[in-house]
Structure 1
Amino acid sequence: MSSKKDKIIELVNSLFDIERKVVDLVLDAVPGDVRVHAQAARKEQLLALRALLDSSIKRIEDGEKKAKKGPKKVEVE
């Protein structure tokens, strides 16, 4: 039996497959220069997604570092 995480990963992969197929169909019907621009735009979308993922990963890692430090001693006058 698949876990919820596995089902989500499978869904995301399916969505990416559909997106690739649609883009390929559209790109086959357009002139070469349009295809070049569309592929560059697609690359930029993926780079933006990478930046978003990197930011999310960093936020998680920073939270883990704070959790490992534990409580701090504060002196009160």
Structure 2
Amino acid sequence: MGEAIGPLENRIRVLRAEKNISQSELAEAIEVSRKTISTIEVARFIPSTVIALKLARYFDMPVEEIFSLTDSA
């Protein structure tokens, strides 16, 4: 997962692929814009706690299984 720009990596792209859903479908499900999903995926935007929790609920897993701090954090 070395493409992260900031201190936070995530598995959203992989999880979306496993569910075969688009950024737009995920965005609609958790009530954010597609651009929000896109910028979180490439680590240009660190999500709020609310968005992180909505993603965890959507994927039915703990936040820590979606997001992790990089070694440089």
TM-score normalised over the length of structure 2: 0.25
The structure with the largest alpha-carbon Rg is 1
Higher strand share: 2
RCO (CA 8 Å, sep 6+): is it higher in 1 or 2? 2
